A and B are shown apart, each in its own frame.
Chain A
Amino acid sequence: DQQVKQNSPSLSVQEGRISILNCDYTNSMFDYFLWYKKYPAEGPTFLISISSIKDKNEDGRFTVFLNKSAKHLSLHIVPSQPGDSAVYFCAASVGTGTASKLTFGTGTRLQVTL
Protein backbone atom coordinates (compact mmCIF):
# COMPACT_ATOMS: atom_id res chain seq x y z
CA ASP A 1 0.00 0.00 0.00
CA GLN A 2 1.64 3.20 -1.22
CA GLN A 3 1.04 5.77 1.52
CA VAL A 4 2.78 8.54 -0.38
CA LYS A 5 1.94 8.85 -4.06
CA GLN A 6 3.43 10.86 -6.86
CA ASN A 7 1.07 10.16 -9.71
CA SER A 8 3.05 11.93 -12.41
CA PRO A 9 6.17 9.95 -13.25
CA SER A 10 7.49 12.75 -15.42
CA LEU A 11 7.04 16.45 -16.15
CA SER A 12 8.52 18.69 -18.83
CA VAL A 13 8.65 22.47 -18.34
CA GLN A 14 10.24 25.28 -20.30
CA GLU A 15 13.05 27.26 -18.73
CA GLY A 16 11.73 30.30 -16.90
CA ARG A 17 8.25 28.87 -16.38
CA ILE A 18 6.80 27.41 -13.19
CA SER A 19 7.23 23.72 -12.34
CA ILE A 20 4.58 22.18 -10.11
CA LEU A 21 5.21 18.76 -8.67
CA ASN A 22 2.40 17.06 -6.79
CA CYS A 23 2.25 14.53 -4.00
CA ASP A 24 -0.69 12.87 -2.23
CA TYR A 25 -0.66 10.91 0.99
CA THR A 26 -3.12 8.62 2.68
CA ASN A 27 -1.84 8.38 6.26
CA SER A 28 -3.46 11.14 8.30
CA MET A 29 -0.80 10.66 10.99
CA PHE A 30 1.89 12.16 8.76
CA ASP A 31 2.78 15.58 10.09
CA TYR A 32 6.12 16.39 8.49
CA PHE A 33 6.80 16.48 4.77
CA LEU A 34 9.97 16.82 2.77
CA TRP A 35 11.10 17.09 -0.81
CA TYR A 36 14.32 15.55 -2.04
CA LYS A 37 16.04 16.04 -5.38
CA LYS A 38 18.09 13.32 -7.03
CA TYR A 39 20.53 13.58 -9.91
CA PRO A 40 21.66 10.43 -11.74
CA ALA A 41 24.47 8.56 -9.99
CA GLU A 42 24.02 10.66 -6.84
CA GLY A 43 22.02 10.16 -3.68
CA PRO A 44 18.94 12.27 -2.94
CA THR A 45 19.60 15.67 -1.42
CA PHE A 46 17.24 17.47 0.91
CA LEU A 47 15.45 20.39 -0.72
CA ILE A 48 12.72 21.79 1.49
CA SER A 49 10.35 20.65 4.21
CA ILE A 50 7.09 21.68 5.83
CA SER A 51 5.44 20.90 9.12
CA SER A 52 1.72 20.25 9.31
CA ILE A 53 1.24 23.38 11.40
CA LYS A 54 2.02 25.42 8.29
CA ASP A 55 0.45 25.50 4.86
CA LYS A 56 3.34 27.10 3.02
CA ASN A 57 7.10 27.21 3.25
CA GLU A 58 9.34 29.13 0.92
CA ASP A 59 13.07 28.94 0.24
CA GLY A 60 14.28 30.99 -2.69
CA ARG A 61 12.83 29.62 -5.89
CA PHE A 62 11.23 26.68 -4.09
CA THR A 63 7.88 26.79 -2.30
CA VAL A 64 6.03 23.88 -0.78
CA PHE A 65 2.29 24.06 -0.19
CA LEU A 66 0.41 21.73 2.12
CA ASN A 67 -3.34 21.10 1.99
CA LYS A 68 -4.06 18.90 4.98
CA SER A 69 -7.76 18.45 4.28
CA ALA A 70 -6.96 17.12 0.81
CA LYS A 71 -3.86 15.26 2.02
CA HIS A 72 -1.96 16.91 -0.77
CA LEU A 73 1.28 18.79 -1.07
CA SER A 74 2.97 20.43 -3.99
CA LEU A 75 6.38 21.83 -4.80
CA HIS A 76 6.58 24.95 -6.93
CA ILE A 77 9.80 25.94 -8.63
CA VAL A 78 9.84 29.46 -10.03
CA PRO A 79 11.53 30.19 -12.35
CA SER A 80 12.58 26.75 -13.52
CA GLN A 81 16.19 26.35 -14.62
CA PRO A 82 17.89 23.59 -16.64
CA GLY A 83 19.85 22.59 -13.53
CA ASP A 84 16.56 21.72 -11.87
CA SER A 85 16.23 18.71 -14.17
CA ALA A 86 16.27 15.77 -11.78
CA VAL A 87 14.01 13.27 -10.05
CA TYR A 88 12.04 14.75 -7.18
CA PHE A 89 10.85 12.61 -4.29
CA CYS A 90 8.36 13.69 -1.71
CA ALA A 91 8.54 12.04 1.69
CA ALA A 92 6.50 12.09 4.85
CA SER A 93 6.99 11.16 8.46
CA VAL A 94 5.09 10.90 11.69
CA GLY A 95 6.91 13.39 13.85
CA THR A 96 10.56 14.25 13.52
CA GLY A 97 11.79 12.18 16.40
CA THR A 98 13.80 9.71 14.37
CA ALA A 99 15.37 10.07 10.96
CA SER A 100 14.40 6.64 9.87
CA LYS A 101 10.63 6.83 9.62
CA LEU A 102 10.51 8.47 6.23
CA THR A 103 8.01 7.16 3.71
CA PHE A 104 8.88 8.15 0.17
CA GLY A 105 6.87 8.52 -2.99
CA THR A 106 7.97 6.93 -6.26
CA GLY A 107 9.40 10.15 -7.67
CA THR A 108 8.69 12.56 -10.53
CA ARG A 109 11.29 13.16 -13.21
CA LEU A 110 11.41 16.87 -14.06
CA GLN A 111 12.95 17.99 -17.31
CA VAL A 112 13.48 21.69 -17.84
CA THR A 113 13.91 22.47 -21.51
CA LEU A 114 15.57 25.49 -23.09
Chain B
Amino acid sequence: KAGVTQTPRYLIKTRGQQVTLSCSPISGHRSVSWYQQTPGQGLQFLFEYFSETQRNKGNFPGRFSGRQFSNSRSEMNVSTLELGDSALYLCASSLMGLATYEQYFGPGTRLTVT
Protein backbone atom coordinates (compact mmCIF):
# COMPACT_ATOMS: atom_id res chain seq x y z
CA LYS B 1 0.00 0.00 0.00
CA ALA B 2 1.46 3.37 -1.01
CA GLY B 3 2.12 5.82 1.80
CA VAL B 4 1.21 9.46 2.12
CA THR B 5 2.77 11.52 -0.63
CA GLN B 6 3.40 15.24 -0.65
CA THR B 7 4.36 17.48 -3.53
CA PRO B 8 6.51 19.34 -4.07
CA ARG B 9 9.19 18.22 -1.62
CA TYR B 10 11.04 21.53 -1.70
CA LEU B 11 9.90 25.00 -2.56
CA ILE B 12 11.46 28.45 -2.50
CA LYS B 13 9.18 31.47 -2.61
CA THR B 14 9.50 35.20 -2.10
CA ARG B 15 7.74 37.26 0.55
CA GLY B 16 4.28 38.32 -0.57
CA GLN B 17 3.79 35.40 -2.95
CA GLN B 18 1.35 32.58 -2.40
CA VAL B 19 1.96 28.86 -2.41
CA THR B 20 -0.08 25.67 -2.78
CA LEU B 21 1.04 22.37 -1.31
CA SER B 22 -0.49 19.03 -2.16
CA CYS B 23 -1.06 15.86 -0.14
CA SER B 24 -2.29 12.48 -1.34
CA PRO B 25 -3.41 10.29 1.56
CA ILE B 26 -3.17 6.54 1.84
CA SER B 27 -5.81 4.90 -0.32
CA GLY B 28 -9.06 4.59 1.65
CA HIS B 29 -8.12 7.21 4.23
CA ARG B 30 -10.67 9.99 4.50
CA SER B 31 -9.04 12.27 7.07
CA VAL B 32 -6.14 14.55 6.21
CA SER B 33 -4.45 16.79 8.75
CA TRP B 34 -1.80 19.43 8.14
CA TYR B 35 1.01 20.44 10.49
CA GLN B 36 3.73 23.06 10.45
CA GLN B 37 7.10 22.05 11.87
CA THR B 38 9.61 24.69 12.91
CA PRO B 39 12.72 24.23 15.10
CA GLY B 40 11.43 26.26 18.01
CA GLN B 41 7.76 25.23 17.97
CA GLY B 42 7.77 21.57 17.07
CA LEU B 43 4.76 20.36 15.12
CA GLN B 44 1.77 22.66 15.23
CA PHE B 45 -1.63 21.62 14.00
CA LEU B 46 -3.03 23.67 11.12
CA PHE B 47 -6.31 21.98 10.19
CA GLU B 48 -8.01 18.70 9.45
CA TYR B 49 -10.27 17.75 6.60
CA PHE B 50 -12.67 14.84 6.57
CA SER B 51 -14.89 14.01 3.62
CA GLU B 52 -14.18 17.37 1.98
CA THR B 53 -15.13 19.36 5.08
CA GLN B 54 -12.83 21.18 7.45
CA ARG B 55 -13.48 19.52 10.76
CA ASN B 56 -10.89 21.17 13.00
CA LYS B 57 -8.66 24.20 12.82
CA GLY B 58 -5.58 25.29 14.75
CA ASN B 59 -4.48 28.78 15.73
CA PHE B 60 -3.11 30.04 12.46
CA PRO B 61 -4.05 33.24 10.60
CA GLY B 62 -6.51 33.23 7.74
CA ARG B 63 -3.63 33.32 5.25
CA PHE B 64 -3.47 29.57 5.77
CA SER B 65 -6.29 27.70 4.10
CA GLY B 66 -6.95 24.29 2.72
CA ARG B 67 -9.38 22.09 0.92
CA GLN B 68 -10.04 18.45 0.28
CA PHE B 69 -11.27 16.88 -2.90
CA SER B 70 -13.70 14.02 -3.39
CA ASN B 71 -10.79 11.57 -3.81
CA SER B 72 -9.51 12.70 -0.35
CA ARG B 73 -6.49 14.48 -1.80
CA SER B 74 -5.88 17.73 0.00
CA GLU B 75 -4.24 21.03 -0.79
CA MET B 76 -2.97 23.69 1.56
CA ASN B 77 -2.60 27.30 0.47
CA VAL B 78 -0.63 30.08 2.10
CA SER B 79 -1.17 33.58 0.77
CA THR B 80 0.98 36.68 1.24
CA LEU B 81 3.96 34.66 2.42
CA GLU B 82 6.06 35.92 5.31
CA LEU B 83 9.60 34.97 6.28
CA GLY B 84 8.22 33.21 9.35
CA ASP B 85 6.27 30.81 7.16
CA SER B 86 9.51 29.03 6.30
CA ALA B 87 8.97 25.56 7.72
CA LEU B 88 8.44 21.91 6.99
CA TYR B 89 4.77 21.30 6.23
CA LEU B 90 3.58 17.80 7.02
CA CYS B 91 0.33 16.17 6.19
CA ALA B 92 -1.01 13.07 7.88
CA SER B 93 -3.83 10.81 6.85
CA SER B 94 -5.99 8.43 8.82
CA LEU B 95 -8.86 6.15 8.04
CA MET B 96 -11.60 7.95 9.89
CA GLY B 97 -9.73 10.43 12.06
CA LEU B 98 -11.15 8.73 15.11
CA ALA B 99 -7.97 7.46 16.76
CA THR B 100 -5.08 9.78 17.38
CA TYR B 101 -2.45 7.10 16.95
CA GLU B 102 -3.61 6.09 13.51
CA GLN B 103 -2.11 9.03 11.69
CA TYR B 104 0.40 8.30 8.97
CA PHE B 105 2.63 11.18 8.01
CA GLY B 106 4.03 12.09 4.65
CA PRO B 107 7.67 13.19 4.20
CA GLY B 108 6.72 16.86 4.17
CA THR B 109 7.25 19.87 1.95
CA ARG B 110 10.14 22.12 2.91
CA LEU B 111 9.10 25.72 2.21
CA THR B 112 11.70 28.48 2.26
CA VAL B 113 10.52 32.08 2.05
CA THR B 114 13.14 34.65 1.08
Contact = CB atoms under 8 A, between A and B. Distances in A.
B90 A106 contact: no
Interface residues of B, number: 30
For chain A, the bracket of interface size reads 20 to 34
Interface string B66-107: 000000000000000000000000101010011111111111
A99 B106 contact: no
A49 B98 CA distance: 15
Most buried by A among B55, B94, B102, B103: B103
21 contacts: A34-B101, A43-B4, A43-B90, A43-B104, A43-B106, A43-B107, A43-B108, A49-B101, A91-B100, A98-B55, A98-B97, A99-B48, A99-B97, A99-B98, A100-B48, A100-B97, A101-B100, A104-B35, A104-B43, A104-B44, A106-B42
Interface of B: 4, 31, 33, 35, 39-45, 47-48, 55-56, 90, 92, 94, 97-108
